Amino acid sequence: METWAGKTVLITGASVGIGEAFARRFAREKANLMLVARREDKLRRLAAELARQHSITVDVLAKDLSLPEAAGEVFEETERLNLQVDGLINNAGFGIGGRFVETDLKRNLEMLQLNIVTLTELTHRYLPGMLARRQGVVVNVASTAAFQAVPYLGAYAATKAYVLSFSEALHEECRDQGVLVMALCPGATATEFFDTAQVAEGTARDMLRRAQTPEEVVEAAFAGIRRRSSSVVSGLANSLLSQATRFVPRDIAARIAGNIMKAR
């Protein structure tokens, strides 16, 4: 996309963290926004601020995207508003920390619905229009956890492995048709993730010491969009670590990750 001015970008999980940083960054580019998240009060405050500061149109939709019907309802709302979605940022997601057998099954299934099924459905609904217009960008937020098994965060890491593989496949399918599909793989980021995932306090504290800001992650995404990359890892250290897993046996990589994530 040469310019985002006057284009419409749909961002999920837009009320905080990386999603909010994406909203602010696209607003600076004069893109109109459709912001989706569960917390309507936060969305409306952010929308009012961005519309006022940047003279753009900002629509909001409060929606729990872990519900099976939610993606379809998002699409119906953009159709009702007659929005042409030129950019889709599938950012909404969460993780669950701890020993898998000790975690809540219902919550795990909600995570799979949000991180995998909703992301897939939204991509499937908006990608055809982009291909027909021969322009558009889809950014699917994965994680550095996508590159190896992560004990004590196992189901979450598996969802992000899906996102990475899915996005890279679609990148190849779409690259000659003017549409970019890209996976964004942040490492530890200063967001609500660790609180939501209930990662052990000591582990979370250690990881947050070297965490990036959401703004740094979003700048890495914009650099990847400019390069038309199939995937981008945010941060040099994260990039080196993600590549290092290629040279380590998978069971050893899992053991190392497990030692890092084990409660302490």
Determine, yes or no, domain membership for 215.
Answer: yes
Determine, yes or no, domain membership for 38.
Answer: yes
Determine, yes or no, domain membership for 3.
Answer: no
244: domain CATH number is 3.40.50.720
> pLDDT truncated to tens, each residue of the chain (264 aa)?
679 999 999 999 999 999 999 999 999 999 999 999 999 999 999 999 999 999 999 999 999 999 999 999 999 999 999 999 999 999 999 999 999 999 999 999 999 999 999 999 999 999 999 999 999 999 999 999 999 999 999 999 999 999 999 999 999 999 999 999 999 999 999 887 766 656 655 555 555 667 899 999 999 999 999 999 999 999 998 988 888 788 888 888 788 888 888 765
- Cβ neighbours of 172 (radius 10 Å): 10
Determine, yes or no, domain membership for 166.
Answer: yes
Determine, yes or no, domain membership for 1.
Answer: no
Determine, yes or no, domain membership for 44.
Answer: yes
Determine, yes or no, domain membership for 77.
Answer: yes
Determine, yes or no, domain membership for 137.
Answer: yes
pTM: 0.92
Where in the sequence is the domain holding 185, given as residue range(s)?
A: 8-261
- Cβ neighbours of 259 (radius 10 Å): 11
Contact indicator for 127, 84 with CB cutoff of 8 Å: no
Instruction: Give me the number of domains the chain comprises.
Output: 1
- Give CA separation, 249 vs 145, 148, 207, in Å: 16, 10, 23
- Active centre residues (catalytic): 156
Do the strands 58-62 and 231-233 form a parallel or antiparallel pair, or are they unpaired?
Answer: unpaired
